[in-house]
Amino acid sequence: MTKFPAMERLEFLRLLAAGGAVWLGFDGSVSPAGEISDEKPILSFGVVADAQYCDDDPQIGRYYRESLAKLIECVTRLNALQPDFTIQLGDIIQAGFASYDEILPVFDALTMPRYHVLGNHDAVVEPANKDKILRRLGLDKLGDGKGYYDFGRAGWRFIVLNGNDISLIAHAPGTAPWKEARRLLDELRKKRAANAQDWNGALGDEQKKWLGRTLSRASLARERVIVFCHFPVYPPGTHTLWNDSAVLEILDAHPGIVAYLCGHNHAGGYGARRGIHHLTFKGMVETTQTAYALVEVRSNGLRVTGFGRETSRDLALPRPA
């Protein structure tokens, strides 16, 4: 396994800082037309999911320590490509607050704006450090400082959700969000739901209302929308948010949403529903091979260029009704 002594890591970071296809109708129907144009992209962004770094030996096919070298290679390539921003889709660490001190300086060597999404493993830290996570990731300065926020680029609106909002992992036992998480999980287990897993989470009522308001403003501004979350909501499975159906209802009520991009399921996945592309990116930590992507936004769709295990694909914009 690759291990980087402190001085070697600093040298890597110094070098990095120096520069180192289908058409979908709004009803979800599929028709055979529609290649993505080769014109210059409107904008582009890098995507990294589930690095899950910690200084530990491999387990169950996950190479935790190797994620440091994988992310260095990813940052080097993205710095050369210079997308408009890069987003990290959650679980940048496996466990332990000290893991942030190793992996974040590598991510922060990116030379373009960078954003974080909260994942379940990001909250697997010592109880005394749980309230420090938002600040450590810089999320206390975005939106209302609750881990969900939005930003705009070139007529597009990007919405970042916090699936740890209602969670057993992210909150101390006995707190209001922990109790709500316990209630939701118990209800799902009674129904034997596939996503009744304690490593999932949910959006709280306040965040769901915020999501609806933000999507409404985007519609009025005639912005197209991409939603980011660590947890998928579609296709159904063991990794989706506990209240995936409620989130899908909100998405259904607003036009202009092009894609919902997420991580959490290291195998990756894809589904199309009511004109929205639901794309789960593969986990960087999984296997000895890396996984990350560049997404180019073009006039008639998204072009995803995958690196390592990640799949390259074209995702066409919905055909107007």
147: left (phi over 0), alpha (psi -120 to 50) or beta: left
Cβ neighbours of 174 (radius 10 Å): 8
The radius of gyration of the chain from alpha carbons, rounded to an integer in Å, stands at 19
Structural tokens at position 242: 């506990």
Percent of the chain with pLDDT over 70: 88
Summarize the confidence of residues 213-231 as an average pLDDT.
98
Say if strands 301-308 and 291-298 run parallel, antiparallel, or are unpaired.
antiparallel
Give residue 319's pLDDT band: very low, low, confident or very high (50, 70, 90): low
Residue 103 and residue 19: Cα distance in Å, rounded?
19
Q: For the chain, how many residues are written?
A: 321
Q: Which residue has the higher pLDDT, 15 or 217?
A: 217
Torsion angle defined by CA atoms of residues 24, 29, 32 and 36, in that order, rounded to the nearest 10 degrees: 0
Residue 164 and residue 118: Cα distance in Å, rounded?
7
pTM, entire model: 0.90
Summarize the confidence of residues 62-67 as an average pLDDT.
98
Give residue 38's pLDDT band: very low, low, confident or very high (50, 70, 90): confident
| pLDDT for 108 beyond 50 | yes
Domain coordinates in residue numbering, the chain: 41-316
Give residue 37's pLDDT band: very low, low, confident or very high (50, 70, 90): confident
CB 242 within 8 A of CB 202: yes
CB 271 within 8 A of CB 242: no
Say if strands 156-160 and 224-228 run parallel, antiparallel, or are unpaired.
parallel
Tell me the per-residue pLDDT of 265-318, one tens digit each, with 9 for 90 and over. 999 999 999 999 999 999 999 999 999 999 999 999 999 999 999 999 999 987
Round the average pLDDT of the chain to a whole number and report it: 90
pLDDT at 83: 98
| pLDDT for 80 beyond 50 | yes
Tell me the per-residue pLDDT of 118-156, one tens digit each, with 9 for 90 and over. 999 999 999 999 999 999 999 999 999 999 999 999 999
CATH 3.60.21.10 for domain 41-316, yes or no, is yes
Residue 241 and residue 201: Cα distance in Å, rounded?
5
- Report the half-sphere exposure of 253 (CA within 13 A, side-chain side): 15
Give residue 39's pLDDT band: very low, low, confident or very high (50, 70, 90): confident
